[in-house]
Amino acid sequence: MSGESSIRFLLDGEERTLACLAPTRTVLQVLREDLGRTGCKEGCAEGDCGACSVVLADRHDDGLRFRAVNACIQFAPTLDGKALITVESLAGPHGTLHPVQQALADGHASQCGFCTPGFVMSLFALYKTRPEPTRDEVVAALAGNLCRCTGYRPILDAAQAMYEIGRAIPEADRDWMSAPAGSNSAAARRSEAEFADRLDRLKRTGDLVLIHESGSFHAPRTLASLAALRERMPSARILAGGSDLGLWVTKQQGELGDLLYVGEIAELKQAALGATHLEIGAAVTLADAQTLLAPQYPELAALLQRFASPPVRNVATLGGNIVNASAVGDTMPALIALGATLVLHQGARTREVPLQSFYAGYRKTVLEAGEFVSRIRIPRPEEGSVFRAWKISKRLDQDIATVCGAFLLRLRDGRVEAARVAFGGLAATPARATACETVLAGREWSEKTRDEAAAALARDYRPIDDLRGSARYRMSVAQNLLRRLWLETGAHRRVLTRLHDLREFA
């Protein structure tokens, strides 16, 4: 492969080229420092506040996909072949406001204005993907945007009003940007088709290679190409969504060296429901994984809903969360309890390992030199099984777990035939609670069994003390989660364990 000198992307519908680009230069830096697009703000520099929100558009299936992302941790080379939409992009002819902007202005939904461009872009992504969102869906879409001045009520009201404004635009003035999702406007459809054609012309057929003095950036297009690169460059870092690696740069001012970007490999972005397993490529985003997992394991979908924010879930991958090997990673305890396995690639060779055996220590895995995760295999639900997964944190949204517990029981006639229990936050790695499982297996699912199994957790883990919780607190939480499991699945399964559930009886 020969080195390239630039990437190509669309901005305001026109092709732009960035040359001599450092692999870890962020989209935020490019916008503010190179392009003078200062509507995009830097707040937290870690993807939490949403002040830097922009929208990426790319080809997806037979149409276009619009995703809000955090420009502060999105590496600029990943823009190649996509369209970048900023708050400045939304301005209409003669400076007219976009329906999203008009709704916010009309509803007095901005005061200091620092966060407003980010809200505009998250709402624009919603505007282009959901025809008639409920208020709960609006709240979920804005979970990654913070406002300290205005408060959220007028912003939520504006999210409802923006559709009425968009539908009132005369047909002659409509284009793909001003028309909301589900629009029947012929003019908007023609405009969107032209925009899609411009994206198609940007599509790169071969691998992208950027060479820079700070390191190289490789974006292979096939699994075979990645495998060959990984064998040749075993010390290079694999980049997927960058929601963790981005912080190494913005918070720790670290140098990442050579990067292997997996976001353009079709084989790693595929997900399918097989006869016995869900097969999820390592580069499938958490947002897309949630769509596949929800019908099979609603509790896992609920857990993923609390994983960071929509702009993070739009780029972060299930494989990346697993390989990151955090002791408090949200997905790993649940996947361990479900019996997930990983398919590992090394050149032309593959092997499959249980996720529970993947971690060799704190932030360490069993991956060998030149090896990478290509697929996650999750067994489909069995008849008679019950699954629960709970994340305990100081905040509901956008917070690191203090304790994350997951339970899979196979129940028959009031007895526990088999059990798989896993926790994160109680040890150096996410791990199964084997002593607890031994107590549960083959026993009547009773208060006595529950209490003995809860006591056994003290033999499985030696929790640490840190700012998120003391060792005593963590163990108490873990034991109480087991008691909650019994309340929801045992003889008193109609006992409510959350005030939120009272809505079912309203």
Domain with CATH 3.30.390.50 in the chain: 385-499
> What does DSSP assign to residue 30?
I
Copy the structure tokens of residue 143: 């979970």
Give the model confidence (pLDDT) of 380-439 as tens digits. Answer: 999 999 999 999 999 888 899 999 999 999 999 999 999 999 999 999 999 999 999 999
End-to-end Cα spacing for the chain:
63
The total number of residues written for the chain in this structure? 506
Q: What CATH number matches the domain at 9-202, 1.10.3720.10, 1.10.540.10, 2.60.120.560, 1.10.150.120?
A: 1.10.150.120
Percentage of the chain with pLDDT > 70? 96
CA distances from 113 to 38, 54, 144 (A): 13, 16, 17
Query: Residue 62 has what pLDDT?
Result: 78
Query: Residue 1 has what pLDDT?
Result: 40
Q: Give residue 217's pLDDT band: very low, low, confident or very high (50, 70, 90).
A: very high
Query: Nearest-CA neighbor of 317 among 355, 283, 356, 280?
Result: 283
Buried b (16+ CB within 10 A) or exposed e, 254-292: eebebbbbbbbbebbbebeeeeebbbbbbbbbbbbbbeb
What is the phi/psi pair of residue 327, to 5°? -70, -20
Fold of 385-499: Enolase-like; domain 1 (3.30.390)
Query: Distance between CA 98 and CA 429 in Å, rounded?
Result: 48
Three-state SS string across 144-194, please? CCCCCCCCCHHHHHHHHHHHHHHHCCCHHHCCCCCCCCCCCCHHHHHHHHH
Listed range (92-96, 258-262, 273-277, 294-298) with the worst mean pLDDT: 92-96
Query: Nearest-CA neighbor of 344 among 366, 372, 305?
Result: 372
326, β-bridge pairs: none
Query: Distance between CA 127 and CA 67 in Å, rounded?
Result: 11
Domain with CATH 1.10.150.120 in the chain: 9-202
Query: Residue 421 has what pLDDT?
Result: 98
Give the model confidence (pLDDT) of 366-381 as tens digits. Answer: 999 999 999 999 999 9
Find the DSSP H helices in 310-414. 310-313, 318-324, 332-337
Query: Model-level pTM?
Result: 0.94
Q: Give residue 492's pLDDT band: very low, low, confident or very high (50, 70, 90).
A: low
Query: Residue 2 has what pLDDT?
Result: 45
Residue 99: how many CB atoms within 10 A of its CB?
Answer: 26
Q: Is 12 left (phi over 0), alpha (psi -120 to 50) or beta?
A: left
Q: Give residue 195's pLDDT band: very low, low, confident or very high (50, 70, 90).
A: very high
423, β-bridge pairs: 405, 431
Query: Nearest-CA neighbor of 345 among 315, 309, 372?
Result: 372
Burial status of residue 177 (CB atoms within 10 A of its CB: 0-12, 13-18, 19 or more): buried
Q: How high is the mean pLDDT of the chain?
A: 94
